[in-house]
Amino acid sequence: MAVKPLFILKQKTYTQIILCFILLCLYTNTIAQPPFSFGIKNGKMIIKASKNLTQKQIDSVSNKFKLGELMLHLLIKDNFTDSLNKQGWIIESNNKEWLTITKNFESSELYVKKSNEPFITPILKNTSPFLFNNKYLINRFKKNKNPIETDSTITITYKPFKAAKEVLLAGSFTNWKRNALAMQNENTNEFSITIPLLQGKHFYKFIVDGEWTVDPLNEQIESDDEGNNNSLLCKSNTRFFLPNYTNAKKVFLVGSFNKWQDGSIKMIKTDSGWFANLYLVDGSYTYKYVVDDNWITDPANPLKYPNEFSNQFNSVKQIGNPTNFYLKGFTQAKKVTLVGSFNNFRDYEVLLEKNDSGWTTNYVVENGSHTYGFKVDNSFVNQEGENLKNIEEDGTTLLINANHTFSLPGFEKAKKVYVAGNFNGWRKNATIMKLVNGVWMANVYLPQGKNLYKFIVDGKWIIDPNNNLWENNEYNDGNSIIWKE
């Protein structure tokens, strides 16, 4: 008899447990559902978004998952679905709380035909930030143990893992082993040497009792043509110093030289402030400091340019020889700015100063073929003061440090010939050629590496008939190639 009530009790308990479990499952299911998910199901991309997402959350997931073209805010908040179909997305379900959309993957022909051999170059990452065309270079050492620099010298130290008798410094600046330099044995088995070094990029290694080794503290290693790994050394030409702020936790340097990427240039703390030593190629740069996430201009630098936000400024560094820009007349104008390919045609940045006869400023322009003009109040003019309809097409041309001459014989009867390529942003009017003894000629500055170009003969784009090197382009009519060593 005693068993029965116990069984009933058990049965009730079981029912309660099961109910609790179901409720828990429902609850878990509710809270486990993230407000936004992006995945793959049944071979399709699937996006599930809660209608309760805030504008900030929508912007955040759009950026995070690179879904800008979906215009999620219009889709989720306003049910605006026009752009979806065009992009191949299908609405799976759409109710008051959730929107679910899917899209088939395009059939990729990778690995299918020989004509689509396995070259998969997804635009994902740049594994070596110093490989190509960078405007700056910086030392990156572990534990902030960057070499100490003066204007002309740099001090390199090495602490061997085990006791060493002799440590030599061999590098591109010593002709490697031939003129390798003996490092001085400081206390506690640490070797160091101070050497004069030209500003720019160098490579080095240590020879420790005859054994070659890279610098274990140096995070930057590049391999040479022979496959040897070498440590990279930067002798800077520009010191950024932010005085004070010694209570800040972290300070970064951002600017036009690193495309305003926050977090890529970490500044090093000292007793009196924060510093970063950079090597910058010749040109004009705008920058700011990011002090614990607050963006500030350089309090120690009076040179500032207005930026795209009203009444806000960026600090300015200029490296190299300035070009004097002078616009004659327009003395009645209220404001004149310098606008060119060298500053991405930003028309608010470089203000000119008025004098008795016109407007003037000094500005360091990087090497290359440029196009520029002036914004006088609300209209654009070229160097001669003539009105411009399209400054990028018709502006005044400027060449800094020519290192190559293009020539095109055989078109003596042509009226106008230009050369356009990556070196002048493919601007068709940027580099006009002159007819000299029956040959069209133009001087240009070509950056190191591969350069693509075409001639424009009386409006018709042609590849260089005297250059065997060319490759196809998106228009199927080819681009000529020059490699600049």
Kindly list the residues in this chain that would bind another protein in the complex (CB under 8 A).
38-45, 64-67, 104-124, 126-128, 131-133, 223-229, 449-450, 452, 468-472, 474, 481, 483
Kindly state the helix (H) or strand (E) to which residue 82 belongs, with its residue range.
Answer: helix 82-86
Rg value, the chain, Cα:
31
d(CA 107, CA 40) in angstroms, rounded, equals 15
For 291, the token pair is 């002090």
Spatial CA neighbour of 467 closest among 449, 480, 454: 480
d(CA 100, CA 57) in angstroms, rounded, equals 17
First vs last Cα of the chain: how many Å apart?
100
| CA–CA–CA angle 473, 477, 479 (5° rounding) | 55
Q: What are the contacts of 100-107 at 24+ separation with CB within 8 A?
A: 100/46, 100/47, 100/48, 100/49, 101/46, 101/47, 101/75, 102/41, 102/44, 102/45, 102/46, 102/47, 103/44, 103/45, 104/43, 104/44, 104/45, 105/43, 105/44, 105/45
d(CA 170, CA 444) in angstroms, rounded, equals 37
d(CA 130, CA 220) in angstroms, rounded, equals 9
58 versus 364: smaller Cβ distance to another protein = 58
The residues, ordered by sequence, that sit 6+ positions from 200 with a Cβ below 8 Å of its Cβ are: 137, 234, 235, 237, 279
CB neighbour class for 15 (10 Å; exposed up to 12, middle 13-18, buried from 19): exposed
27 versus 132: smaller Cβ distance to another protein = 132
CB of 180 to another protein, least distance (A): 21
43 versus 302: smaller Cβ distance to another protein = 43
CB of 49 to another protein, least distance (A): 14
Helix (H, G, I), strand (E, B) or coil at 7: helix
CB of 202 to another protein, least distance (A): 18
For 222, the token pair is 């590049």
CB of 26 to another protein, least distance (A): 21
CB of 470 to another protein, least distance (A): 7
